[in-house]
Amino acid sequence: MDFKKLASLYKDELLDNVLPFWLEHSQDHEYGGYFTCLDREGKVFDTDKFIWLQSREVWMFSMLYNKVENRQEWLDCAIQGGEFLKKYGHDGDYNWYFSLDRSGRPLVEPYNIFSYTFATMAFGQLSLATGNQEYADIARKTFDIILSKVNNPKGKWNKLHPGTRNLKNFALPMILCNLALEIEHLLDENYLRETMETCIHEVMEVFYRPELGGIIVENVDIDGSLVDCFEGRQVTPGHAIEAMWFIMDLGKRLNRPELIEKAKETTLTILNYGWDKKYGGVYYFMDRNGCPPQQLEWDQKLWWVHIETLISLLKGYQLTGDKRCLEWFEKVHDYTWEHFKDKEYPEWYGYLNRRGEVLLPLKGGKWKGCFHVPRGLFQCWKTLEDLMNYK
Q: How many domains does the chain have?
A: 1
Domain of residue 220 covers 165-359
Helix ranges (H only) for 38-108 are 51-67, 72-88
Q: Report yes or no on whether pTM surpasses 0.85.
A: yes
Q: What would the mean pLDDT of 237-259 be, rounded to a whole number?
A: 97
Residue pair 340/352 in contact by the 8 Å Cβ criterion: yes
Q: Is residue 250 part of a domain?
A: yes
Q: Is residue 309 part of a domain?
A: yes
Q: Is residue 65 part of a domain?
A: no
CA proximity to 38, closest of 30, 48, 27, 46: 46
Q: Is residue 214 part of a domain?
A: yes
**pLDDT for res 314:** 98
Residue pair 339/331 in contact by the 8 Å Cβ criterion: no
Q: Using only C-alpha atoms, what is the Rg of the chain?
A: 20
**pLDDT for res 391:** 59
pLDDT digits (tens, 9 = 90+) for 55-84: 999 999 999 999 999 999 999 999 999 999
Residue pair 314/264 in contact by the 8 Å Cβ criterion: no
Report the alpha-carbon distance of residue 145 to residue 390 in Å, rounded.
41
Q: Is residue 110 part of a domain?
A: no
- CA distances in angstroms from 46 to 88, 100, 101, 364, listed in the order given: 18, 12, 10, 10
Give me the phi and psi of 299, to 5 degrees please.
Answer: -100, 5
pLDDT digits (tens, 9 = 90+) for 144-193: 999 998 888 888 888 888 888 889 999 999 999 999 999 999 999 999 99
Q: Is residue 199 part of a domain?
A: yes
Q: What would the mean pLDDT of 12-40 be, rounded to a whole number?
A: 98
Mean residue pLDDT across the chain: 96
Instruction: Judge whether residue 250 has pLDDT over 70.
Output: yes
Q: Is residue 377 part of a domain?
A: no
- Which domain CATH number covers 230? 1.50.10.10
**pLDDT for res 199:** 94
Report the alpha-carbon distance of residue 378 to residue 14 in Å, rounded.
7
- CA distances in angstroms from 262 to 24, 122, 194, 236, 319, listed in the order given: 42, 30, 20, 18, 12
Q: Is residue 131 part of a domain?
A: no
